[in-house]
Amino acid sequence: MWQTFSISFCLVMVVGVLLLIVDPTCSDYGAKLQRVSADLEWITRSLEEYKQGSGNYPNESEGLRAFVVCPASHPDPARWRQLLRDLPPDPWMTEYSYRLVPGSPRGFEIRSAGKDRKFGTKDDISSLDPE
């Protein structure tokens, strides 16, 4: 019995090491997903704060840059305040996308391109995805 266990354990370890050699990012993929989730939450809070100050969310052309630079179309530039020094990328070093989605629960969507760094593929992570 112990011999079978030892052989099985060794096989599992070898496969695990091979996976890390072939794709070292697989070990931290879960951590990256958690970071995206946390980023989506703070971006959502920042958008709510922006809306409180300006009366609406940034339009799509202003995007999330409205946290960094006062948009020319801001209704009251004196009330605008900088929320960030710069926009941090997602864990795969791609900028988050932002778009208005009328009829959605919040009225907007924030999206990470995911591991493949391409928007519109099945690994995208959206603020509209169910938890």
Domains and CATH numbers, the chain: 28-126 (3.30.700.10)
- Extract the tokens encoding 21: 């050699």
Using the predicted structure, report yes or no on whether residue 12 has a pLDDT greater than 80. no
Asked whether 78 and 53 are in contact (CB, 8 A), the reply is no
Under DSSP, the state recorded for 86 is S
Q: Which of 21-35, 45-59, 97-111 has the lowest mean pLDDT?
A: 21-35
- Which parts of the chain fold into alpha helices (H)? 2-22, 29-54
Q: Counting every residue, how long is the chain?
A: 131
